[in-house]
Amino acid sequence: MAERSFKREVEDLKLGKGDTFTGEGILAITKALLESGVGYVGGYQGAPISHLMDVLADAEELLTELGVRYEANASEAAAAAMLAASVHYPIRGAVTFKGPVGVNVASDALANLSSSGVNGGALIIVGEDYGEGSSIMQERSHGFAMKSQFWLLDPRPNLPSIVKSVKQGFELSEASNSPVMLMVRIRSCHVTGQFDTEDNVIPPLSVRDALSNPQSDFSRVVLPPFSYKQEHDKIDNRWPAAEKFIRENGMNEMFGPDTAPVGLVVQGGMFNGVIRALQRLGLADIEGRSAIPIYCLNVTYPLVQDEFLDFAKGKDALLIIEEGQPEFIEQNLATHLLRSGLTTKLHGKDIFPMAGEYTGQVMLDSVTTFLKQAAPEFLPGQVRAPNAPPPDIPDLSETVPIRPPGFCTGCPERPIFASMKLVEQELGKHQISGDIGCHLFGSLPPFEIGGQTMGYGLGPASNAAFDGGGERRAVSFLGDGGFWHNGLSSSIGNMVYNQSDSVAIIVDNYYSAATGGQDLMSSRADNPTKATNNPISKALEGVGVKWIRQIDNTYEVGKLRDTIKEALTTDYNGPKVIVASSECMLNKQRREKPLRKKAISEGRRVEAPRFGVDEDICTGDHACIRLSGCPSLSLKTLDDPLRDDPVASIDHTCVGCGNCGEVADAAVLCPSFYRADVVHNPTGWEARKARFRRSVIGWLQNRRATKQLQFQEVSQ
């Protein structure tokens, strides 16, 4: 059950010649693949292209009709290896995953693919996750493209440009016998717009047809002496062929006047930001017409030397607008300038910040600084005196609340970390490693459990150095997504092989939850096209784990606490694995809320549990919050003048998971939590009972109020 369904939108993928497509970038990419005659597609979900995988899954029926093979791969490495079908066969293939972490995982397969070269077009669609909206380490995919000679496309973020890049990406790949990487940024994936569609193309050679006539060529195998020849082939043949195709097909674009004293060289993905900055300076209009020449690099690798030098001629200075570091493009273009003998000054990271996202303000400030230095005549009335104060920009940090990441309301992973915290209160602090996924939020307050993470599925492996014996056993966390991605072999298999005496806690929420709730092998859902309901515990047994504990309700904090304590104190010497399972609350609510709403609208009786805090009993020590951290559990100031400290309070966002009450009970905190079942469409008898109870309670409240001491303000 994915975060979002595209069943309705995928109908637009059937549009043909003469029609107009309207929608998001990820849907436009899918449509472009079908119009390009792609033979197979695959990938691994991950922001910002998680929804692209969801689109492909929802469009699987259409893909099958066209003879296109679709694979939801087990990892990015598996996806990249799938492109081997294009090595020997003239079949176009495309895979997608998040970069740069996906590129890192897939690096072995990608390097071999690039070395051997391809016959069919091979396209890697990388969701470049850079900037303030990113959830990963800040790196770029550009360096890998340079290392292995992938051609890297970075199209302007509008639908016609993205669609054109997909189609030209396949053509470039075939013209140069090299794989091509298409980089789409977060905004590109979700930008909306229109483009004129063409008919979908059935692949000339399907993978099914290729099986009937197998091909092989030992010169494509990456082994000496062929690997040495492949390296020369990259440089002597494939690279020149790529540059020739790029220039002849106008993949890079020129905007603005033919001559000017200065010019801008910009990554395609940054084009909209540049135009907006120029528009604010009065140097461009809303249609993108610029008063300053712009060389837009829709292909950021390889850089076409002659094309760049033609743009640089006659200009006094150029500004390279390249987000991220190192400044690969700037260094490359500086080399071209130096070797050509041109005296054009090159600016880039001396004006723009070396690292960080180029937001609208950063773009405006940097372009303005460049023009002040190199061509102030473009800024009439814009140049302030040298000592003039900067414009007054509001400090949003004082008005916008800080929103650190955290578990969702009712998340079944919260009680796992509450249980671990209770165990540490008794046994002392332990060496704990985290892993990629929602459970990594456990490293933040209020839990502060898990000190490092080294990669998806590598939680237990990152604790291997601490398995040499000691007073306390090391503990590591691993999600179900990471388990099936890489953890079974690299972490659990590693523990078994090395006879580890540490503890691994596998957080099983039934889905690849952090990427949008896609199904996994261990998902409980019945998926008509995928094999689900494969228990993690069975896989653990299969690789040799003997000590396994299965927890089927993580909200039972007391039981979970006792199980963790058992794992840390048992005399058993070997890997100890706890599988803590409960369904992701977001996916559960996505499934149950529509059903509940429908039942209520039809007049059926529906019960919905809610929890609350008795204000008269709550002591106000807030220990429950320190052991829960649920967004629905907050503080409330009472009107009682004799009680200064705020008490705990549960707001209307509560989903009735029961964790707060369980934590309070397991930690022996206080009895102030209560459960109330909200009844929709009650029976007649229930309605009469409710009216009677309200009348009795109201009478008792009024009687007590008359006996309370009243405080009144006396005016002097």
Instruction: Give per-residue pLDDT as tens, 378-408.
Output: 987 654 444 555 556 667 667 766 677 788 9
- What does the alpha-carbon distance between residue 275 and residue 183 come to, in Å, rounded to a whole number? 20
Q: Mean pLDDT throughout 183-208?
A: 92
Residue 387 lies in a domain: no
pLDDT of residue 138 exceeding 70, the answer is yes
Q: Which of 58-67, 384-393, 411-420, 607-616 is least confident?
A: 384-393
**580 in helix, strand or coil?**
strand
Edge-to-edge order in the sheet of strand 180-185? 69-72, 40-43, 93-99, 122-128, 180-185, 151-153, 299-301
Q: Mean pLDDT throughout 478-487?
A: 92
- What does the alpha-carbon distance between residue 103 and residue 520 come to, in Å, rounded to a whole number? 21
> What pLDDT is recorded for position 715?
65
Contact 194, 20 (CB under 8 A): yes
> What pLDDT is recorded for position 383?
45
Q: Which domain holds residue 679?
A: 606-706
- What does the alpha-carbon distance between residue 579 and residue 549 come to, in Å, rounded to a whole number? 6
Instruction: Give per-residue pLDDT as tens, 358-371.
Output: 999 999 999 999 99
- What does the alpha-carbon distance between residue 168 and residue 170 come to, in Å, rounded to a whole number? 5
> What pLDDT is recorded for position 384?
45
Q: At 187, is the pLDDT very low, low, confident or very high (cuts 50, 70, 90)?
A: confident
3-state secondary structure 484-544: HHHHHHHHHHHHHHCCCCCEEEEEECCEEHHHCCEECCCCCCCCCCCCCCCCHHHHHHHCC
- What does the alpha-carbon distance between residue 681 and residue 640 come to, in Å, rounded to a whole number? 36
pLDDT of residue 2 exceeding 70, the answer is no
Q: Mean pLDDT throughout 27-31?
A: 94
End-of-domain residue from the set 355, 378, 401: 378
CATH number at residue 119: 3.40.50.970
Work out the burial of residue 253: count CB atoms within 10 Å of its CB; fewer than 13 is exposed, 13-18 middle, 19 or more buried: middle
CATH number at residue 641: 3.30.70
Q: Are residues 566 and 668 in the same domain?
A: no
Q: Are residues 109 and 55 in the same domain?
A: yes
Q: Mean pLDDT throughout 461-483?
A: 88
Query: What does pTM read for this prediction?
Result: 0.87
Alpha carbons within 13 A on the beta-carbon side of 601: 6
Instruction: Give per-residue pLDDT as tens, 448-462.
Output: 888 788 888 899 998
Q: At 195, is the pLDDT very low, low, confident or very high (cuts 50, 70, 90)?
A: very high
Q: Mean pLDDT throughout 647-662?
A: 85
pLDDT of residue 711 exceeding 70, the answer is no
Q: Based on the structure, what is the number of domains in the chain?
A: 4
Residue 221 lies in a domain: yes
Instruction: Give per-residue pLDDT as tens, 562-606.
Output: 999 999 999 999 999 999 999 999 889 988 899 999 999 999 999
CATH number at residue 329: 3.40.50.920
Q: Mean pLDDT throughout 132-137?
A: 75
Q: Mean pLDDT throughout 53-61?
A: 90
Q: Are residues 462 and 580 in the same domain?
A: yes
Query: Which secondary structure element, helix H or strand E, spans residue 72, and what is its range?
Result: strand 69-72
Q: Are residues 610 and 568 in the same domain?
A: no
- What does the alpha-carbon distance between residue 442 and residue 130 come to, in Å, rounded to a whole number? 24
User: What residues have CB less than 8 Å from 463, skipping those under 6 apart?
Assistant: 431, 432, 433, 474, 475, 476, 502
pLDDT of residue 668 exceeding 80, the answer is no
Q: Are residues 157 and 111 in the same domain?
A: yes
> What pLDDT is recorded for position 386?
46
CA distances from 298 to 373, 399, 409, 622 (A): 27, 38, 42, 55
Q: Are residues 547 and 657 in the same domain?
A: no
User: How large a percentage of the chain has pLDDT more than 70?
Assistant: 95
CA distances from 489 to 256, 429, 486, 500 (A): 55, 28, 6, 14
Q: Mean pLDDT throughout 460-483?
A: 88
